[in-house]
Chains A and B, each alone.
Chain A
Amino acid sequence: MNRRPRITPARLCGFLGLPVVVLAVAALRATTEGNLQAIWAGPGADDITSVLVYFSWLPRLVVALIAGAGLALAGVLMQQTLRNPLASPTTLGVATGAQALLLVATLFAPGLLIYGRGLIAFIGGALAVALVFALAWRRGLAPTVLVLAGLVVNLYLGAVSLALILFNQESLHGLMIWGAGSLAQQNWSDVVHLAPCLVIVALGAGILSRSLALLDLDEVNARNLGVSMLWLRTVSLGLAVFVTASIVSRLGLIGFIGLASPAIVRLAGARTLKARLIWSPLFGALLLTLTDLALQLIAGRNAALIPTGATTAALGAPLLLWLVPRLSMNARSPNTNAPPPIPRRNAPWRLIGFAVVATLVMIIIALFAGRDAHGWNAPFALPWAETGHWRAPRVLAAGMAGMLLALAGTLIQRVSGNPMASPEVLGVSAGTGMGLLALIWFVPGAGTLALLGAGTGGALTTLVVLIAINARSGFEPEQLLLTGIAVMFAFDAIQRIVLAGNDPRTQSMLAWVSGSTYFVDMHTAIVISSVGLVLVALAWPLGRWLDVLPLGELVSRALGLHVTVSRVVLLGLVAVLTAAATLIVGPLSFVGLLAPHLARLSGLARARPHMAGAMVFGALLMIAADWVGRQVIFPNEIPAGLVATLIGGSYFMWRLRRL
């Protein structure tokens, strides 16, 4: 590269520092309502203005700096240890663990909240990470396995949380503000708790930095230099998790900073780990503080809450999108993301045959068995005419959506060679979700047709963004996934903001977003199924590309494959498959991630058996999930997407442990 970077990390921080000071003064003026004399009264004064200055404005400023620095530091440690630029402080499940345990405690053991939300959240986060570590322990905490385990635990606990929120919205609305990350303060207790955590972790990172820098070499070389990988990973991740859990448990979920700060300072020229360890926390602190101050001033007279954590992520997403094409060029480090090898099965089609039979059995159960007002009815007891027209479209839609998502997942995982890849991660589901959400929000009362239109619009817009950003790099997979993650960030953040606002519209929103076959009628099911079958027929002949592409760009080219063209075709297919499925089951079913992995873990290695196996598993999983979700807490219905994540996630964790 011959372009000398004009931006340096120091200049970048200086550039942010100035507005931080200006806005901090502005926020102080707003707090004192121009009565700056109150400041000189000192913290002992009883007057409300000086109390606000010393117990609200000042601790909030300090806590924003600490949280920003802590999360950015955790991000550097995570990305360095896991060798993955997509890793963030919450990759290993800290935040979702904290949230899940808080929700469970609030609903089922509110007495525990006497010990403080912070403690319960911290324990929840720690338990989730302990689970992730346990799953990856046998493989020596290998980065790929850790990332996969973290992803599954995140999805699993996320699904548990969403199911709880779905049915207990009123009881949990206070927690939704925590879930969106608010920095509001009314004494110094958060600062007093968090400052020592930050100091401990900063010292630890300083001590580890030399060993961690060796990870920039590949694993074998690092080990030869006398580094115990297991020890190094445990300590480094432990530090990152500790600081993240402390911050999240006190302030709530603050996304984006931990992912973006390390990435941005690296882009600005902090190439070495040491430079990143210094500049990233500084930049993170300034970035979070700047956002928080700006939001405080904007919020001013506003009736609705503008939570800092989620808003930072929502505003940060476009910044991340802008960064993406610039980022990946610099991120050339040894790729240890290749999935661990699985023994290949000798008779793949026999396994697939068994799965097909299981699916047929499941379809029969789903169509003919179920609960009604009297409890369980015996199969075939109720005439088909009574229940058939309710059940048939749902079974068809669930099966089809599972199939399409699984196929999309197989394609994207084979194209990208990244085990974190899934159609959801590509951002198309999130785009569809945002389209739906916008319509529900701004046009309450819109019908199903309008929702379908809005969903398709969202998917197409995301697709255009994906293409615009990635065209120049020839759809380089890593970069594509980063783009998708930025879109997902925005969607997740917007959802959290909406939930924190807690008004009557959220119920409808949750219903759509959580991935249910509820709204599908027979007509829609048939239309989408026909489209889906055409797409499957289009994908089938591409099996050879999918066998060749995972071998890498050079090999693929040598075998006569036009890499960019094949990527564009396959990704286009992935996008359309995802959009079609998302319209049925919403953006949150992670069948597209789980089913291809399940197929691969069962030893289906070559492209066509892999595709076929994933599709059958996907369909089976979704049909079973849809049926179980409708029965388990009858008359309430747990959306199929959530149940699929729970069933698939459990199985996935079990397989992962035996890997």
Chain B
Amino acid sequence: MTYAPVAGLCRRGPGIVALVGLVLALFGLAAQASAASRDTTDDASPPTPRLATLDWGIAQNLVAMGVSPIAVGQTAGYATWVADPPLPKGTCNLGNRAQPNLELLDQLDPDRILITRFYAPAGPRLKQIAPVTSVDTYGQPGDVWTNTVDAVKRLGQIAHRSAAAQALIARVESDVRKAADQLPSSTKPLLVLQFSGPQHVRVYGQGSLIQATMQRMGLTSAWQGETTPWGFSYVPISRLAEIKTGQMVVVGPIPVGIAEQIKNSRVWQSLPIVKDAPVLYIPQVWSFGGLPSATRFARLISHALREAPASGPGWPVKAAGA
């Protein structure tokens, strides 16, 4: 490869003059940069490699251990759906996660590209740019917490930041414990779910990072149903009738228009779990692969349970300041 790793390459800056300038600069930098990269390899302590990743969970873990990935797939989606921790400014958007922009990635010249097995079809193409490593948490044996922690450790090795990875794991575990300490003295079994439409919900159960976090906090799950390999069940609302006692937690964002439909739903209003305790609401939590999501969920759920109104059935109460 003859490309230049150019700092700050990824910026939105139209304007023909700027373009031409940058293109020229690129040529100029090419020579310098290749020399520079040769310099750094001689260093005793290995520098942080330039990592690009398609997966949001991996990006979350990297950012949380203080490693800024140079490029991530669908950065706008990350901001909406993952949120925590935010991507550093200047992280390049690679486009669709299943089909990251190859010419752009090639120009950015990463040292390594991190994927999960679900992006494997793009693997052969990505290998032409840089070595590709698959760091998986789902779709393999073992429980999700251990797999997620192992993924963080592996990412630490890859980024030459094993200490930071260990620190992240310790920090998350202590954050979860702290959030657990602040829980009200008695809690009902929780039914954590997300609305998929007016008739269907996605319930988090066995095998989800959310349930694993709940276990560590001493919270029990009200959902005993079968789950997919990603730890959730897709069910129509009528299936929730089988849960006789507990408290419902709705994970955001709630699609527009659902509230109106739910208010008119005889089935929803008669659900034992809705009558049993106020329905809680927490903002979005990305549950695929990122350890920081455990902290986020623990913090949000602990806050929501503390602030819960004493009684009264009905529609989710937005937890303020979450």
Question: Which residues on A are within 8 Å of B, measured CB to CB?
Answer: 31, 46-49, 51-52, 55-56, 106, 110-111, 113-117, 166-168, 170-171, 173-175, 177-178, 182, 184-187, 189, 301-305, 370, 372-378, 381-382, 385-387, 389-391, 440, 444-448, 451, 500-505, 507-508, 510-512, 516, 518-519, 521, 634-637, 639
Contact = CB atoms under 8 A, between A and B. Distances in A.
A33 B218 CA distance: 31
B23 A377 contact: yes
B306 interface: no
Given A48-B270, A373-B107, A386-B106, A170 B81 contact: yes
B175 to A, nearest CB: 25
A609 B259 CA distance: 60
A174 B197 CA distance: 5
Contacts of B10: 373
A374 B9 CA distance: 7
B255 to A, nearest CB: 5
A182 B236 contact: yes
B96 A637 contact: yes
B268 interface: yes
B230 A503 contact: yes
B134 interface: yes
Nearest to B74: A167
Given A519-B122, A637-B101, A378 B20 contact: yes
B125 interface: yes
Contacts of A49: 241
Closest 7 CB pairs of A and B: A511-B98, A635-B95, A113-B257, A635-B101, A305-B234, A445-B117, A186-B267
Nearest to A374: B22
A370 B197 contact: no
Nearest to B271: A48
Contacts of A114: 256-257, 260
Given A170-B77, A372-B104, A635-B100, 18 more contacts: A114-B257, A117-B257, A186-B237, A187-B266, A303-B205, A303-B225, A303-B228, A305-B234, A373-B11, A374-B9, A447-B123, A451-B121, A504-B288, A507-B96, A508-B121, A510-B98, A518-B125, A635-B94
B238 interface: yes
B3 A386 contact: yes
B200 A177 contact: yes
Given A114-B260, A182-B236, A303-B225, A444 B120 contact: yes
B97 interface: yes
B23 A52 contact: no
A488 B83 CA distance: 40
A301 B226 CA distance: 7
Given A373-B10, A504-B138, A448 B124 contact: yes
A56 B268 CA distance: 11
Contacts of B128: 389, 521
A384 to B, nearest CB: 12
A380 to B, nearest CB: 11
Interface in B1-50: 2-3, 6, 9-11, 13-16, 18-20, 22-23, 26
A516 B288 contact: no
Contacts of A46: 270
B228 A304 contact: yes
A66 B233 CA distance: 29
Nearest to B24: A381
A487 to B, nearest CB: 24
Nearest to A449: B124
Given A117-B257, A446-B121, A186 B199 contact: yes
Contacts of A636: 95-96, 101
A321 to B, nearest CB: 29
Nearest to A382: B23
B96 A166 contact: yes
B23 A184 contact: no
A215 B196 CA distance: 45
16 contacts: A51-B267, A114-B257, A167-B74, A174-B196, A174-B200, A177-B200, A186-B237, A301-B226, A373-B108, A374-B13, A374-B23, A375-B14, A378-B19, A447-B124, A501-B228, A504-B118
Interface string B74-109: 100100110000000000111111111111101110
Interface string B115-146: 01111111111001000001000110000000
Contact of A511 (B77, B96, B107, B134): B96
Contacts of B6: 373
Contacts of B261: 116
A31 B257 CA distance: 28
A107 B98 CA distance: 20
A303 B104 contact: no
